[in-house]
Chains A and B, each alone.
Chain A
Amino acid sequence: MTLDMFLQHLTNAVSLGALYALVAIGYTMVYGILRLINFAHGTIFTIGAYAAFMGIAIFNLQWGITYILAICFTAVLGMATEKVAYKPLRDAPRISVLISAIGVSFLMENLLIIFFGGRPKPFFRPPIFTQVLEIGAIMIPVLSFAIIIVSAILLVALTYLLYRTKPGTAMRALANDFETARLMAIDVDKTVALTFMVGSSLAAVGGILWALKFPQINPTMGGFPGLKAFVAAVLGGIGSIPGATVGGLILGLCEIMLVAFLPNLSGYRDAVAFVALITVLLLKPTGLLGEKGQVKV
């Protein structure tokens, strides 16, 4: 394998990993605060992609505007599901909330089937994203760069939100100690709603970028990326945002490099994530960047 080819694979790996990371952050933030594995997050990802699809295919909007509207819609939907399905269960056993999340995921996935049918639909790709950049002997799709840049910007923005603003501080406080934070007059409902808003919009960005990368959408498309993003979150230490990013990048790297270096084993691509998960959990039960005992955002 030449250096050029390696660099090409590396770019692919980082762009896939960045996608996983975007979705993983949603899992990690919700888990950090509510200790809830939000299994509906993968469906939120799908809805982001469908919302963008609708804007272009049905309302004929310009793609940039569509994406922004789709992200807003998904963010509102994320908050709404929290209000309806999770908030009434805040003092209930945690398993009830998990089942509730599973119910929400069933519900939304099948609503998509009712409205759009179960068959895959082509996703419109704006011409910019279909171009390929040639750098020396390496050919890299513009989209791969776009994914990396967008993810990097969002990560920086999120870090700013969490460490430099008041709502972000409230989120970190809740993640650290829910009860004490509540006593310190932190508006729990508002902060949880904000968490779901941020997490869901990141999932929507992930969904749209995913649909641009693999230009086809279907109601169950969120299943695998969702599950893998969840694995990424756990791998890096669930509850930790740097952890989710590292976990996502590791998964992207492992998957692409497996296919690149050992093409015979490409059938096992989907197992890589889970083997990595089990190995890391057995060696370091709270994940790579997870702390013992207290888990932080």
Chain B
Amino acid sequence: MNGRSNGRGLNYLLTLGSIVVILLITTWAQRTLDPYRLRVLSVGAIYVTLAVGLNLVYGFTGQFSLGHAGFMAVGAYTSALLTMPVAQKARNFFIVPIHPALENLQIPYLPALIIAGLMAALLGWIVGVPVLRLRGDYLGMATLGFSEVVRVLINNMQTITNGSMGLKGVPDYVNLYWAVGSAVVSVFIAARLVNTSYGRALKAIREDEIAAESVGVSLFYHKVLAFVAGAFFAGVGGALLGHWSSAVDPKMFTITITFQILTIVVIGGLGSLTGTVIASFAYAVAMEWLRFIEAPMKIGSIEIPGIVGMRMVLFGIVVLVVIVFYRQGLMGQREFAWDAFLRRKEAGTAAGAGKGV
């Protein structure tokens, strides 16, 4: 590692610089782009937060979790209920009155967002402690079951969640600043976590649990840590999604959304934060770009009606093609690194810090 220590300072400088550049670009985009493009970019950034969470659990720790939707739902409802104005709550709960404890509660957005993440994390801890004893597919099935139970509970807890009608008029706080800010913070936290001894322990568990345990890695502690951190990001991402669409209802949090986030993570590359960021934006933009296929077209005086469903058909084909030809995802386990970028890479060390254990 000689010669690397000099590079460290430069790396931090470059990272700091790139964050400033991202902020400048965000400011520029928020001021000049039209609302439609802003919404697409925002949802891409929200996917980053969500996908980073799942990648931490599955990509870095190797724990197959299909419960993301459940944590997202908890986050979305928490933040929506905490920030909604009293009058709007009354308008929503017209069949069954709202629980009195929640009726007059209203707090600012940022604390609500953090509480949303913490609620999801708390639930992640409650679920994770018993369930993380399971391995592989069985863990996936149990977490999937948990996520569906959350949805059924939301459907039935009328006084708190307004049941299947959902909540409308959730304050639409999410602009590009919030979405990108949360994405940057999540990537930063995840990168810090992954590149410390915790991260090396997580990767060791992913590669071989028994070997990891025999060199003194506490399986239970690290698995729960990753799971809780993943749940936190899912909660924050879910909350952002609720404020982005200014409505929250149980149908938003079916297994489909978990599959979408999982697809982003796998296509980006399991265990690559860089891949996750690229795939999140690519996914958001592709989904919108494919929309033109469903729009009615006009050629001369002949009008071709739009074909509803065509977008998802093409999307399915794109996913199949990507997965068949890029089995490791776009980035594999590699990360973007300044060293590789500056061609200062030392012989024998892999390009990404994300590679070795």
Asked whether A106 lies within 8 Å of B319 as measured between CB atoms, the reply is: yes
B133 A103 Cβ-Cβ under 8 A:
no
B149 in contact with A95 (CB, 8 Å): no
Interface size grouping (class) on chain A: 35 or more
CB neighbours (8 Å) of A111 from chain B are 309, 313
Q: Are A227 and B148 in contact (CB under 8 A)?
A: yes
Say whether A103 contacts B316, CB under 8 Å. yes
- Write 25 A-B pairs (CB below 8 A) sorted by A numbering: A37-B137, A85-B324, A92-B327, A99-B262, A99-B267, A103-B323, A104-B320, A107-B313, A109-B312, A110-B313, A111-B309, A113-B312, A118-B309, A234-B141, A238-B137, A268-B156, A270-B152, A274-B145, A274-B148, A278-B142, A278-B145, A278-B146, A281-B131, A281-B142, A282-B130
Interface residues of A in 66-108 (CB under 8 A from B): 84-85, 88-89, 92-93, 95-96, 99-100, 102-108
- Contacting pair A267 B155 (CB below 8 A): yes
Q: Report B200-257 residues with CB < 8 Å from chain A CB.
A: 254-255
Give the residue name and chain of the A residue nearest to B326 (CB).
A96
| Structural contact, B313 and A227, CB atoms closer than 8 A | no
Q: Is B138 an interface residue (CB 8 A)?
A: yes
Q: Decide yes or no whether A195 CB sits under 8 A from chain B.
A: no
Q: Which single member of A93, A107, A113, A274 contacts B320 (CB below 8 Å)?
A: A107
Given contacts A100-B324, A285-B138, contact A231 B145 (CB under 8 A): yes
Q: Given contacts A37-B137, A102-B259, A268-B156, is CB(A107)–CB(B327) below 8 Å?
A: no
Scan B315-330; emit 1 where CB is below 8 A from any A CB, else 0. Answer: 1110110011001100
B145 touches A286 (CB 8 A): no
A219 CA to B309 CA, complexed, in Å:
11
CA distance A85 to B263 in the complex (A): 15
Q: Is the CB of A114 within 8 A of B270?
A: no
Q: Which residues of B contact A39 (CB under 8 A)?
A: 259
**Interface assignment of B352: CB less than 8 Å from any CB of chain A:** no
Min CB gap B293→A, angstroms: 11
Say yes or no: is A275 at the interface (Cβ < 8 Å to chain B). Answer: yes
Rounded to whole Å, the gap between the CB of B260 and the closest CB of chain A is: 9
Report which B residues bind A (CB closer than 8 A). Answer: 64, 130-131, 133-135, 137-138, 140-142, 144-146, 148-149, 152-153, 155-156, 254-255, 259, 262-263, 266-267, 270, 307-313, 315-317, 319-320, 323-324, 327-328
Residues of chain A within 8 A of B319, CB atoms compared: 99-100, 102-103, 106
List A176-198 residues whose CB lies under 8 Å from chain B. none
Residues from chain B with a CB closer than 8 A to the CB of A102 are: 259, 262-263, 319
Is A7 an interface residue, CB under 8 A from the partner?
A: no
A214: min CB distance to chain B, Å:
19
A221, chain B: closest CB distance, angstroms: 14
Q: Are A282 and B131 touching (Cβ within 8 A)? A: yes
Q: Closest 5 interchain pairs by CB? A: A107-B316, A113-B309, A103-B319, A274-B145, A271-B152
A103-B313 contact in complex given A95-B266, A274-B148, A285-B133, C-beta closer than 8 Å:
no
Residues of B within 8 Å of A211, CB to CB, are none
A277 near B: Cβ within 8 Å? yes
Contacts of B315 in A (CB 8 A): 106
User: A280 to chain B: closest CB distance in Å?
Assistant: 10
Seed contacts A109-B312, A110-B311, A282-B131; 10 additional CB < 8 Å A-B pairs: A93-B327, A100-B320, A102-B259, A106-B313, A110-B313, A114-B308, A118-B308, A267-B155, A274-B144, A278-B131
Shortest beta-carbon distance, B220 to chain A, in Å? 15
A99 to B258, CA, bound (A): 12
Residues of A within 8 A of B309 (CB): 110-114, 118
- Tell me the smallest distance from the CB of B251 to a CB of chain A, in Å: 11
Q: A107-128, CB under 8 A of B: which get 1 and which 0? A: 1111111100110000000000
**Shortest distance between the CB of A139 and any CB in chain B (Å):** 30
Q: Which A-chain residue is minimally distant from B158 (CB atoms)?
A: A267
Known: A114-B308, A274-B149, A277-B141. Contact between A267 and B317, CB under 8 A? no
Which residues of chain A come closer than 8 Å to B313, judged between CB atoms? Answer: 106-107, 110-111, 114
The answer to whether B316 and A106 have CB atoms under 8 Å apart is: yes
Contacts of A286 in B (CB 8 A): 138
